């Protein structure tokens, strides 16, 4: 044991009494002589950052308080993504792995599956094919298409042959994609016919590219480029054939080698490339798998962008666990249809979709008529009370009410996981009751290889993001200009800082921005403001930069306000804005057309089209009144209430630039609020 570990062990010896069943209960018992240092409910334990200061403000998971996790406890030999997939292929050879819906006579049918063994064979062919084309070990490989089996296979090939995978968001637009290709010096790009057409428009501006592989394209449809371009375009199936005919041995990476450069768009400026190693991924997933366990019997639906770290890390856990992955068709509007066909057991999503599910169910209940509404409310209240008391509710309520709701997601979901932005407490409680499954929320970022903290499966308290991933430690640093300090009562507050084997290497070719977030002691400064809640739970309460000041000096955290208003029945999406020249907030609301039409009918309002209805002052007043009621229920402060709204029909999407690729509302919205 190194001297630092020994010092820490001595420092807390006598202060902690580990419960013999800590693994199953995630709890610590307090030693009577040192209760101040241990949280009674035991989701986190507090360790000294520097013993000589006497300030005990570094928190670790109660699951692994003395040592940060860096490998899977059951398989410490897995140190890289390549090791992880080799383990998967050897262990789950004939299990279903990658599934897509097949079209029969133009109609989308059932899922067709590729096994782990078949995916392993394809991975070898792809990697061998790249070497056949002269792409050297360590080269950057671009992936320029949305979720489908080939994305996963190419990523596995990159790991097996020591290439660096670089996701290209197909919705970032040509300028950002062009920037990433040149910045990462990408030599080969995998794309689909649609993104190929985009690339061909700026081919002369991406000189590093030597090979373009078209997934889903036919050999006879491949464009023949002049030899002067130095670029060859081939189909994915041709690359597979070439690889099979010229098989090459793996070139396995080391844990410290770069696995990917994951570009984050942020909300403004050019993309930043987060450099993540194989060891980063394995540590993060090994740590977070303590809280969420997948099994070979599970079925996972993949629809969140694979270019986003949330989905990427999930896929590492999927492979480790031998879980089957079914891909959506590529259309979010058809996601529920895909869920019904796939019947997944694990559903990882973002609050934006969970809010829509919540609004859809509550609106249907309100319009269902008196008796049905009363039955739902009785069932809901009874089941919620049972859950909060740690008891099982009467199965009668499921038979009468909730089984029909569960079928909307296929009827088998056992885990619902939320990330990317905060999920409100009442939506989380609602999902737990209606779907009868474990609902967890996590917090993370690209720079930490995904999960920083996550809820414990047995924790029924909502409104927080759980305790530290066992692969990292967390401290809160004072932000005096915002009046947040670790000394705050009753709960310590400050900027969330993270350290451990999950922390990225830095931003690619950008030492200045790396130094802005990564200090000399290895702490990553997230820019998020946190609070240590009871039981060592972390709560996100603010954003260091994403705040603005109103004319009277009040600070506004817009995401917090948006999450409250997202529960309004009229609201599909909402963007809240204010500035220091004005004393009140305004909002752009993307309305639910069905709810708006139903309201107009009930009010006897005539209109030619929905656009006209959106501009009707009565409609704006009705939406604002409903938002006010929601705001009062959530106890918003007076200056946090929106005073004017503009109603729009066009959703905020990646395609129109109103959402970032991580599903956050973009600051580029320029709609004039009336």
pLDDT in tens, 180-239: 999 999 999 999 998 898 889 899 999 999 999 999 988 888 888 888 888 999 999 999
Segment 332-359 shows an average pLDDT of 91
Predicted confidence at residue 659, as pLDDT, reads: 58
> Which CATH number do you get for residue 483?
3.40.50.12780
Same domain, 561 and 534: no
> Which of 131-140, 157-166, 644-653 has the weakest average pLDDT?
644-653
Look at residue 370 in the predicted model and tell me its pLDDT: 83
Q: What CATH number is attached to the domain comprising 621? A: 3.30.300.30
Q: How far apart are CA 260 and CA 313, in angstroms?
A: 12
pLDDT at 666: 53
Is residue 15 a part of any domain in this protein? no
Domain with 581, as residue range(s), is 548-672
Indicate whether 262 belongs to any domain.
yes
Q: At what angle do helices 116-132 and 81-91 cross, to 10 degrees?
A: 140
Which residue, 167, 154, 153, is CA-closest to 261? 167
Residue 369 lies in a domain: yes
Residues in the chain: 674
> Could you tell me if residue 71 is inside a domain?
no
What is the count of structural domains for the chain?
3
Contacts of 63 (CB under 8 A, 6+ apart): 22, 23, 26, 290, 470
Task: Give pLDDT tens digits for 127-153.
Answer: 999 999 999 999 999 999 999 999 999
Same domain? For 189 and 92 the reply is yes
Q: Are residues 149 and 212 in the same domain?
A: yes
Tell me which DSSP letter residue 88 carries. Answer: H
- Range in 45-49, 557-561, 666-670 with the lowest mean pLDDT: 666-670
Domain end, chosen from 342, 362, 383, is at 342
Residues 625-646 have a mean pLDDT of 90
274 falls within a domain: yes
Shared domain check, 377 and 395: yes
Evaluate whether residue 355 is within a structural domain. yes
Q: Are strands 438-445 and 548-549 parallel, antiparallel or unpaired?
A: unpaired
Asked if residue 284 and residue 266 are part of one domain, the reply reads yes
Reported as a single tens digit per residue, the pLDDT across 534-575 is: 889 999 988 786 667 676 656 677 877 888 898 899 999 898
Contacts of 599 (CB under 8 A, 6+ apart): 570, 619, 622
> Is residue 49 a part of any domain in this protein?
no
**Average pLDDT taken over every residue of the chain:** 86
584 in the same domain as 444: no
Distance from chain centroid for Cα 38: 31
Same domain for 516 and 503 = yes
Buried b (16+ CB within 10 A) or exposed e, 512-522: eebeebbeeee
Query: Same domain for 435 and 523?
Result: yes
pLDDT digits over 57-114, tens only?
899 999 998 899 999 999 999 999 999 999 999 999 999 999 999 888 778 889 999 9
Same domain, 288 and 351: no
Looking at the domain assignment, is residue 22 inside a domain?
Answer: no
pTM above 0.95, yes or no: no
Residue bearing tokens 């013993």: 51
Give dist(CA 653, CA 262) in Å, integer: 21
478 and 560: one domain?
no
Peptide bond into 420 cis (omega under 30): no
pLDDT at residue 269 tops 80: no
Highest mean pLDDT out of 36-40, 402-406, 465-469, 582-586: 465-469
Looking at the structure, do residues 362 and 257 belong to the same domain, yes or no?
Answer: no
Contacts of 511 (CB under 8 A, 6+ apart): none
Using pLDDT thresholds of 50, 70 and 90, give the confidence band for residue 393: confident
Tell the residue number behind the tokens 């768009």, with chain if given: 265
Domain end among 288, 317, 342: 342
Domain match, 263 and 327 both: yes
Q: Which of 491, 525, 543 is the endpoint of a domain?
A: 543
Rounded to 10°, the helix 116-132/236-245 angle is 80
Distance (Å, whole) CA 207 – CA 423: 44
């Amino acid at each position: 044991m190194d001297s630092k570990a020994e010092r820490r062990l001595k420092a807390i010896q006598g202060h902690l009494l580990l419960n013999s069943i800590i693994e199953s209960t995630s709890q610590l018992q307090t030693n009577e002589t040192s209760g101040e240092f241990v949280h009674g409910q035991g989701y986190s334990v507090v360790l000294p950052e520097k013993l000589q200061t006497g300030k005990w403000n570094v928190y670790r998971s109660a699951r692994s308080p003395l040592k940060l996790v860096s490998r899977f406890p059951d398989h410490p030999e897995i140190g890289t993504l390549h090791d992880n997939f080799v383990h998967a292929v050897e262990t789950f050879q004939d299990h279903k792995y990658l599934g897509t819906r097949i079209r029969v006579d133009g109609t989308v049918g059932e899922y067709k599956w590729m096994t782990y063994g078949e995916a392993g064979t394809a991975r070898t062919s792809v990697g061998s094919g790249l070497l056949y084309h002269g792409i050297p070990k360590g080269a950057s490989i671009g992936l320029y298409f949305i979720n489908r089996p080939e994305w996963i296979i190419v990523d596995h090939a990159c790991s097996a042959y020591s290439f660096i995978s670089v996701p290209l968001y197909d919705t970032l637009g040509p300028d950002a994609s062009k920037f990433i290709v040149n910045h990462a010096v990408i030599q080969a790009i995998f794309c689909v016919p649609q993104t190929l057409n985009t690339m061909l428009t700026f081919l002369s501006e991406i000189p590093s590219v030597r090979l373009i592989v078209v997934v889903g394209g036919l050999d006879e449809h491949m464009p023949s480029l002049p030899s002067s371009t130095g670029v060859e375009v081939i189909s994915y199936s041709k690359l597979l054939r070439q690889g099979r005919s010229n098989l090459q041995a793996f070139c396995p990476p080391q844990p410290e080698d770069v696995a990917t450069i994951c570009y984050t768009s942020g909300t403004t400026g050019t993309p930043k490339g987060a450099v993540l190693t194989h060891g980063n991924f394995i540590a993060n997933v090994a740590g977070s798998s303590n809280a969420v366990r997948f099994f070979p019997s599970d079925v996972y639906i993949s629809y969140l962008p694979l270019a986003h770290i949330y989905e990427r890390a999930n896929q590492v856990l999927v492979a480790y666990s031998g879980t089957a992955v079914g891909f959506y068709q590529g259309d979010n509007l058809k996601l529920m249809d895909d869920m019904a066909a796939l019947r997944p057991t694990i559903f990882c999503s973002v609050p934006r979709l969970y809010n829509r599910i919540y609004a859809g169910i509550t609106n249907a209940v309100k319009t269902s008529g008196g008796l049905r509404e009363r039955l739902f409310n009785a069932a809901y209240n009874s089941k919620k009370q049972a859950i909060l008391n740690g008891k099982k509710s009467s199965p009668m309520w499921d038979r009468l009410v909730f089984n029909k709701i569960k079928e909307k997601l296929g009827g088998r979901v056992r885990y619902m996981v939320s990330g990317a932005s905060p999920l409100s407490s009442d939506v989380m409680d609602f999902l737990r009751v209606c779907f009868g499954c474990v609902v967890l929320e996590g917090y993370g970022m690209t720079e930490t290889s995904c999960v920083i903290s996550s809820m414990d499966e047995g924790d029924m308290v909502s409104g927080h993001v759980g305790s530290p991933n066992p692969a990292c430690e967390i401290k809160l640093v004072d932000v005096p200009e915002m009046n947040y300090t670790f000394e705050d009562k009753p709960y310590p507050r400050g900027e969330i800082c993270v350290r451990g084997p999950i922390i990225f290497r830095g931003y690619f070719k950008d030492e200045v921005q790396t130094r802005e977030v990564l200090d000399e002691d290895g702490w990553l400064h997230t820019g998020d403001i946190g609070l240590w809640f009871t039981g060592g739970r972390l709560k996100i309460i603010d954003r260091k930069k994403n705040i603005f000041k109103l004319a009277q000096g009040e600070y506004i955290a817009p995401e917090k306000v948006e999450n409250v208003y997202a529960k309004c029945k009229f609201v599909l999406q909402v963007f809240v804005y204010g500035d220091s020249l004005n004393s009140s907030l305004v909002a752009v609301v993307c309305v639910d057309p069905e709810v708006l039409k139903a309201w107009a009918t009930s009010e006897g309002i005539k209109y030619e089209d929905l656009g006209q209805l959106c501009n009707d002052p009565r409609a704006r007043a009705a939406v604002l009144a409903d938002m006010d009621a929601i705001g009062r229920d959530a106890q918003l402060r007076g200056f946090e209430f929106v005073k004017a709204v503009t109603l729009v029909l066009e959703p905020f999407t990646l395609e129109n630039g109103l959402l970032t690729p991580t599903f956050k509302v973009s600051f580029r919205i320029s709609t004039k609020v009336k």
